[in-house]
Structure 1
Amino acid sequence: MTALAEAIRARHPELPMEVDGRGEDAARQDSPLIRCGNELVAVMSMPAPIPEDSGLWSRASTIWPQAKAVAARHRGHLIVSVLGHNQQPLPTARLTTAVIGALIATMPQCCGVVWNGKVARPTDLWLEMSSRSFAPFPDYPVSLWVDILPFRSETGIGAVTMGLSAFAEREIQFETHKLPLATLMSKVDGLAVYLVEHGPVVKDGDTFGGDARERFSVRYKNSDQFGGLPVLFCNDSSA
């Protein structure tokens, strides 16, 4: 924990930090707690693999081809948790991400990160992007917390998020028969980042877009394609 504390200080010198709120001596007592700013963060060691979830690793493989093989080799895991009630999703995500990045810098044997049970990322990517944990909007590392996955729909193509509901109560499901894939992914990413910053501010029946001529409708529904997942269903029928 002393090494972790030093890594946090080195990577985020703007963050007030001490071990267990009692100073460095607590580190020698194997305390699992670190105080970062006004928050207590627990780091717990679990001598067993995480529960099997084939869907998680299949999703991860879309941008991390080695994900399944890496996951199959791991034999233990660490749980990082910000303690306390009524935690706000974005500040909690920023702080947790910073601590995880420092853990990876301290423990090179870490092979990957599973975020909120839904998103898996390789440690080298997390180590790099977590340095921006406290960057101003929109530069903090939303892509560590939210997956955007393309799919084929009945009318064309679509993209669905995984992990956004922790910030906005619902995922995004966007279907289009007009937009190219790159444009679709960009628009879903832009809306996801906006919702991470502002929370569940998009209501059933709202529209959004880049300007007055480009508007996309939003409906609350349970996804037909993804097992009843609560989504903000968007399409370009009104564009």
Structure 2
Amino acid sequence: MSKSFLALVLLETPATPDMVALSEAIRARHPELPMEIEGGSAGSARQGSPLIRCGDELIAVMAMPAPAPADPGLWSRASTIWPQAEAVAARHRGHLIISVLGQNQRPLPRARLTTAVIGALIATMPQCCAVVWNGKVARSADLWRDLSSRSFASFPDYPSSLWIDILPFRSETGIGAVTMGLSAFAEREIQFETHKLPLGTLLKKVDGLSVYLVEHGAVVKDGDTFGGDARERFSVRHKNSDRFGGLPVFFCSDGSA
């Protein structure tokens, strides 16, 4: 499965990135990543080329002198862990669009590369105030600058919290959590409901399964179980969520749902 991600970097004021400065920042932050400015010379990049090449991939960085499309639900979700999210979204005045071109890689390598480029952009542009990942997850620019340094970390230390939201909720039998953004890696989200686990443990279970699916793709089959040991097993069913508008999910439970 191949997948392109579309990321928006929100700007407090409209600005055009300096592609030479961006390429230098990528080299400094990720020296293991082969990269060059597409189009030849540094001078041509300064004149407005929107492309850079990292390894075998082309990345487009396009400046838009207007706010990103409004999405109140996105910013409401983001505000649960980032209280300033809605205010930042309301005051931004420009944005950048970042995407890896082509269809040659699995989702994880593309996510890594896109994340590395975004982190370098934020490091070179003080106007950056937020990032919207694939229309699903919004985070602060400061968090992106810090966590994107782990773009090429080994499993399980990916900066997956930049790519996937984990949202708790109350269920009829206890508590639950649902992901937002995992389907780009594994075709479905996770919906986990329990009457046995405390919230912190539940969130860790969902995070661990999310990272596993980011690494391996949609390998968990309908009817599989997972858990830390033979005494702690949770069932997984493929279904369309009754709670979240028919969203395709890996429905997980400890026998309570």
Asked if these proteins are the same fold (TM beyond 0.5), I'd say yes
**Equivalents in 2 of 1:28, 1:163: separation in Å?**
34
**Which has the larger displacement, 180-189 or 15-24?**
15-24
Query: What is aligned with 2:209?
Result: 191
Q: By how many angstroms is 1:28 displaced?
A: 2.8
**Equivalents in 2 of 1:234, 1:139: separation in Å?**
23
SS in 1 for 2:139: strand
Query: What is aligned with 2:75?
Result: 57
Does 2:39 align with 1:26? no
Letter in 2 for 1:196: V
Query: What is aligned with 1:105?
Result: 123
Does 2:84 align with 1:66? yes
Query: What is aligned with 1:84?
Result: 102
SS in 2 for 1:4: helix
SS in 2 for 1:134: coil
Q: By how many angstroms is 1:27 displaced?
A: 1.2
Query: What is aligned with 1:133?
Result: 151
TM-score (norm 1): 0.97
- Runs of 4+ in structure 1 off by over 3 angstroms are none
**Equivalents in 1 of 2:104, 2:24: separation in Å?**
28
Q: By how many angstroms is 1:21 displaced?
A: 5.3
Number of residue pairs aligned between Structure 1 and Structure 2: 238
Larger RCO (CA within 8 A; separation ≥ 6): 2
**Equivalents in 2 of 1:199, 1:85: separation in Å?**
16
Does 2:25 align with 1:4? no
Query: What is aligned with 1:201?
Result: 219
SS in 1 for 2:128: coil
Q: By how many angstroms is 1:86 displaced?
A: 3.9
TM-score (norm 2): 0.90
- 2:33 pairs, out of 3, 11, 15, with 15
Q: Is the 8 A contact 2:39 2:45 kept in 1?
A: no
Structure 2 residues not aligned, in runs of 5+: 1-18
Does 2:257 align with 1:226? no
SS in 2 for 1:111: strand
**Equivalents in 2 of 1:14, 1:85: separation in Å?**
22
Q: Is the 8 A contact 1:175 1:235 kept in 2?
A: yes
Superposed CA offset, 1:105-127 (max 9, x none): 01011110000000000011100
Query: What is aligned with 2:180?
Result: 162
From the superposition, tell whether residues 28 and 109 of structure 1 become closer, same or farther in structure 2 (CA, over 3 Å): closer
- 1:75 pairs, out of 93, 112, 116, with 93
- 1:47 pairs, out of 65, 72, 89, with 65
SS in 2 for 1:42: strand
Identity of aligned residues (%): 83
Q: Is the 8 A contact 1:21 1:35 kept in 2?
A: no
Q: By how many angstroms is 1:76 displaced?
A: 1.1
Letter in 2 for 1:73: R
Q: By how many angstroms is 1:23 displaced?
A: 4.0
